[in-house]
Chains A and B, each alone.
Chain A
């Protein structure tokens, strides 16, 4: 089914008209990691969403409680017990499962019943935000993939194209590694980096590996895992484009090395592209491509994640809260924040809109990423505790790159570690 942007926009704009008027002075509380009063394109885009919502809903006000991003989930668990929940809460997709399991969120399916089939089909939702009965607990307001950030200026000067295979990535790393500039940055510090589940996992799955059995236990031992683990070891010890210090550093520190201009390419999420461009002297030279394929013609599947808007159980103003969610996920708001702040939109129609597919976004790789996501999405049965999986994979990689264990021994060790962590 082809859905035009106009149809999607119409559907999202018309739906609020059918609703009753608000009582004067209604306020909803939003828990957010972003501060709409802050500086930068992302806070400004959020402020625009709130401003336009309040303008479109006379009497409605959005009160934002800014909470540090890793603490939104734990704080919601605590607030649910205390009965002091907000009306809308932002939750990062890997942290949805524990909240669903703890029964802190309302399913949104009933609230979405008034939506047209077109509007529903146009919105990208994440399977991780659903329970086993396929009920949906959160609508994403932005999407991100993890991929390979690279310095377009360095690649151009060396006559290189952005890597499409791991071999090309290694070759580029070798040629661009000069002076203070390192060929590749990637963090496998399990507690502070998601590279184990964002790069290692899709690479293994792309080669036909499984990593988890049907009962949820680990199935790390296999040729696909062995191959990617060996490659990771070679990045550090044979190709020498990834320093061991960097590989064991927290993800934020690796990014800081990139901001300082000392990385030619590194693993990171698309949500940090704008930050890199705003903070790094290299600015707009930072671009993004999906992770290179392990083998030519066998592209690595892409893991799609995002921040969701959810309504907690016992929220005082769920209906207005959901209206706010509708507003934020509308085509109009999605287009605005995609253009203003470089977000990947959650509406398919917006991704095809000429205003989004600008030369700039094409150059940064954003439009290609959305096309790639549609072609090769990662199909993986995420466990309730994806942190444990990330931790076990990260520690397994660390055992290998620090030469503490040979690859095969590390795989068996990682398997045992995950099975213990998930208990």
Chain B
């Protein structure tokens, strides 16, 4: 595909629009970064200062170097890890089954599965809490991990179906002729070709869980089991919001996502667009 060169005026307008969009997205983050280096008195100063007059690392020390923050991060990584394994395994199986096998009720099954994506979390959080209490998982990291796993499967099925459909079924059939079982053929032949889709799915799982507040807040209680976004909430104190440490913790919490996305953005874009047009 050849790229059409834009006329100078249109090019300027396009670049201008892109820069505006970037500024719109980045300004709050940059403002938060600046705030994280300010003393409390300067945070609320009027007129506001774009850059800290006397930068301090105290907010970062208070928020990010606190051992509890590290624990929140590790807790969240544990939940991400468990959810990744469970949700991608189930989603792969479900996507494969619905692409390769034709059975009665398949379309209805997919429709029902996808319709669950539209159910807002707040609508199911009370039953989920009750369930977690009844099965003895309340205030354990397994509770959010299992809920996220179940919650993300329909989205991942939708994402992965396109990739599986793009792999010719003949490849799996060849493997079966060579002695593989249908599942063995899928795992050995098709799954290795799904990397862009799997990476996109993994990023999606990571971002959704990392940014979650509702489930983490509702299903865990003690400090030992707190997730990162719930931990940040503690900076909204009884005597006012501690903006300095809050911003330091918030900025620190987005670093893993930014790094992950920067490293894998090629797969992510490829994965999302691929899944959107095929299947």
Contact = CB atoms under 8 A, between A and B. Distances in A.
Interface in A231-273: 252, 255-257, 259-262, 271-272
A68 B233 contact: yes
Contacts of B217: 71
Interface in A201-247: none
Given A68-B234, A68-B236, A260-B45, 15 more contacts: A35-B234, A38-B62, A68-B237, A78-B129, A78-B138, A79-B221, A84-B138, A180-B46, A252-B241, A255-B240, A257-B44, A260-B46, A261-B45, A274-B239, A275-B239
Interface in B139-164: 139
21 contacts: A33-B237, A33-B238, A66-B234, A67-B234, A68-B233, A69-B238, A71-B217, A78-B129, A78-B218, A82-B133, A82-B138, A82-B139, A84-B138, A257-B44, A260-B46, A261-B45, A262-B46, A272-B239, A274-B239, A275-B239, A278-B40
Interface string A313-325: 0000000000000
A274 B234 CA distance: 19
Contacts of B28: none
A75 interface: yes
Interface of A: 33-35, 38-39, 42, 65-69, 71, 75, 78-79, 81-82, 84, 180, 252, 255-257, 259-262, 271-272, 274-275, 278-281
Contact of B223 (A33, A38, A65, A252): A65
A279 B218 CA distance: 33
B41 interface: yes
Contacts of B129: 78
Given A68-B234, A84-B138, A281-B41, A252 B46 contact: no
B222 interface: yes
A126 B129 CA distance: 33
Interface in B19-45: 40-41, 43-45
Contacts of B241: 252, 256
B215 to A, nearest CB: 14
Nearest to A281: B41
A328 to B, nearest CB: 17
A84 B240 CA distance: 29
Contacts of A261: 45-46
Interface in B209-266: 217-218, 221-223, 233-234, 236-241
A261 B139 CA distance: 43
A274 B222 CA distance: 29
Interface in B53-106: 62
Contacts of A69: 237-238
A71 B45 CA distance: 30
Contacts of B221: 65, 75, 78-79, 82, 84
A252 B139 contact: no
A75 B129 CA distance: 12
A272 B241 CA distance: 12
A152 B26 CA distance: 41
A261 B238 CA distance: 21
Contacts of A272: 239-240
A262 B46 CA distance: 8
Interface string B111-129: 0000000000000000001
Contacts of B234: 35, 66-68
A35 B67 CA distance: 13
B139 A84 contact: yes
A310 B179 CA distance: 69
Contacts of A33: 237-238
B261 to A, nearest CB: 29
B236 A260 contact: no
A67 B225 CA distance: 12
Contact of A279 (B40, B46, B133): B40
Contacts of A252: 240-241
Given A78-B221, A84-B221, A281-B41, A275 B46 contact: no
A269 to B, nearest CB: 9
Given A75-B221, A81-B133, A84-B221, A259 B44 contact: yes
A279 B39 CA distance: 9
A249 to B, nearest CB: 13
Given A66-B223, A78-B129, A84-B221, A271 B46 contact: no
Contacts of A274: 239
B238 A271 contact: yes
A78 to B, nearest CB: 7
A262 B238 CA distance: 22
B144 to A, nearest CB: 15
A314 B238 CA distance: 28
